[in-house]
Amino acid sequence: MKTQRSTGRMVALLLLAPALIVMLGVFVLPMAYIFILSFQQESVSFTFANYALILKDIYYYEVLWRTIKISLMTVICCLVLGYPVAMYMAKSSPKMRGFITFLIISPHLISVVIRNFGWVVILGQKGFVNTTLMKFGLIDEPLRLLYNELGVVIGLTDSMIVYMILGIATSLYTIDQSLYKASGILGASTIRSFFNITLPLSLPGIVAGTTLVFSLSMSSFVTPALMGGTSVKVMPVLAYEKIMATLDWSLGAALAFILLGCTLGLVALFTKLIETKRYKEVFSS
């Protein structure tokens, strides 16, 4: 019996070995090197000076808060726009679900850089949106839809909404349709059925989608750089500038790990609050 277990573990380890080697080589070791680098400065082998500099300067707090705010706004936009699409997918036939999934995923076959430049053409001062609004007399002068936080949120929402839709749709697929029949027999309206059945049972998908969208938005570099320009500075762009423009690798590494720590902390806090709320609901009922 022990021999069979040992053989099974050995086989599992051999199957996992290629993936573990890749993860170790392209993720763990580079992250460890950057972490060590964040504690170095010029000839000093170990110092907290980089982190102390960041914590003392209010500018870095403003950039970090802007990064969190833009990520939260992106989550809200993805949730508001993506939930109805996920509900429609859950009520559709399997063939229609596949078609909608293809429509949602297909834009991601194109580079995010090209998609962002497409938004620049659409949202620019002489772009499609401003031209159309001025043509119908709805505005007198072009709206500033680019190179501000609004433009970054639009670009991030376009990039991240697929994760929210698919996360929520996966939860909605598992809902037993007989619950809606029972709800209708008991006299519940469509709105009440949504808040008592659909929304609570889709909560795992909302949590998964929110976590993915927030984490990816916090670490996004291309979209804020192209659609935010120099007027919207976020942590990934700032870390890139410190490393590539000023060649201050240590400070850039410290900024990257502060961003990583804040992202993990906020995601863990959000998950803990959701779990605590569900725990209280279960035991209160």
- Which pLDDT score, from 0 to 100, does residue 271 have? 85
Residues 151 and 73 sit within 8 Å (Cβ to Cβ): no
| Overall residue count recorded for the chain in this entry | 285
Q: What's the maximum distance between 2 C-alpha atoms anywhere in the chain? A: 81
Q: Which residues pair with 41 in a beta bridge?
A: 44
Residues 251 and 47 sit within 8 Å (Cβ to Cβ): no
Q: Which pair of tokens denotes residue 24?
A: 């170790």
Angle 194-195-196 from CA coordinates, rounded to 5° = 95
Distance separating alpha carbons of residues 146 and 226, to the nearest angstrom:
9
- Which pLDDT score, from 0 to 100, does residue 207 have? 92
Query: What DSSP string describes 151-165?
Result: HHHHHHHHHHHHHHH
| Model confidence pLDDT, tens digit, residues 84-135 | 999 999 988 889 999 999 999 998 888 899 999 999 899 988 888 999 999 8
- Which pLDDT score, from 0 to 100, does residue 66 have? 96
Q: What domains are there in the chain, each with its CATH number?
A: 58-284 (1.10.3720.10)
Residues 64 and 258 sit within 8 Å (Cβ to Cβ): yes
How much is the mean pLDDT over the chain?
88
pLDDT (mean) for 143-168:
93
Residues 56 and 274 sit within 8 Å (Cβ to Cβ): no
Q: Is the pTM of this model over 0.85?
A: yes
| Model confidence pLDDT, tens digit, residues 42-70 | 777 788 888 999 999 999 999 999 999 99
Q: How confident is the model at residue 2 (pLDDT cuts 50, 70, 90)?
A: low
Angle 160-237-112 from CA coordinates, rounded to 5° = 35
Q: Token match 């698919």: residue?
A: 166
Distance separating alpha carbons of residues 89 and 171, to the nearest angstrom:
11
Reduced to 3 states, what is the DSSP secondary structure of residue 44?
Answer: strand
Distance separating alpha carbons of residues 167 and 161, to the nearest angstrom:
10
- Which pLDDT score, from 0 to 100, does residue 281 have? 56
Q: Looking at the predicted structure, is the pLDDT value of residue 197 above 80?
A: yes
Side chain identity, residue 80: V
Residues 168 and 83 sit within 8 Å (Cβ to Cβ): yes
Residues 153 and 77 sit within 8 Å (Cβ to Cβ): yes
Taking the CA atoms of 240, 245, 251 and 253 in sequence, report the sign of the dihedral they define: positive
Q: Looking at the predicted structure, is the pLDDT value of residue 247 above 90?
A: no
